[in-house]
Amino acid sequence: MNQFAAPTDTLIQSDRSLLAASLGNVFFAEALFDVLPDVVFFVKGKRAEYLVANHALVTRCGLADKAALLGRNASDIFPPSLGAGYLQQDLQVLSTGIDIHDQLELHLYPNRAPGWCVTHKIVLRDHAGGIAGMAGISRDLSMPDKNHPVYKRVAAAASFIHDHYDQPLQIAGLAQLAELSVSQLERYFQRIFSLNPRQMIIKTRLDAASSMLAGQCSITEIAAACGYHDHSAFTRQFKATVGITPRAYRALLQSG
**Quick one: fold of 151-255?**
Arc Repressor Mutant, subunit A (1.10.10)
Distance in angstroms (rounded) separating the CA atoms of residues 225 and 164 = 10
pTM for the full model? Answer: 0.79
Contact status, residue 86 vs residue 92, Cβ threshold 8 Å: no
CATH of domain 27-140: 3.30.450.20
- Band of residue 196 on the pLDDT scale cut at 50, 70, 90: very high
pLDDT tens digits, 59-111? 988 899 999 999 999 999 988 888 888 899 999 999 999 999 999 998 877 65
Query: What's the burial of 178, exposed, middle or buried (CB within 10 Å: 0-12/13-18/19+)?
Result: buried
Distance in angstroms (rounded) separating the CA atoms of residues 256 and 82 = 14
- Band of residue 16 on the pLDDT scale cut at 50, 70, 90: confident
Contact status, residue 86 vs residue 75, Cβ threshold 8 Å: yes
Distance in angstroms (rounded) separating the CA atoms of residues 197 and 174 = 9
Distance in angstroms (rounded) separating the CA atoms of residues 213 and 219 = 8
- The answer to whether domain 27-140 and domain 151-255 are alike in fold is no
Q: What residue segments make up the domains of the chain, in order of their start?
A: 27-140, 151-255
pLDDT tens digits, 148-183? 899 999 999 999 999 999 999 999 999 999 999 999
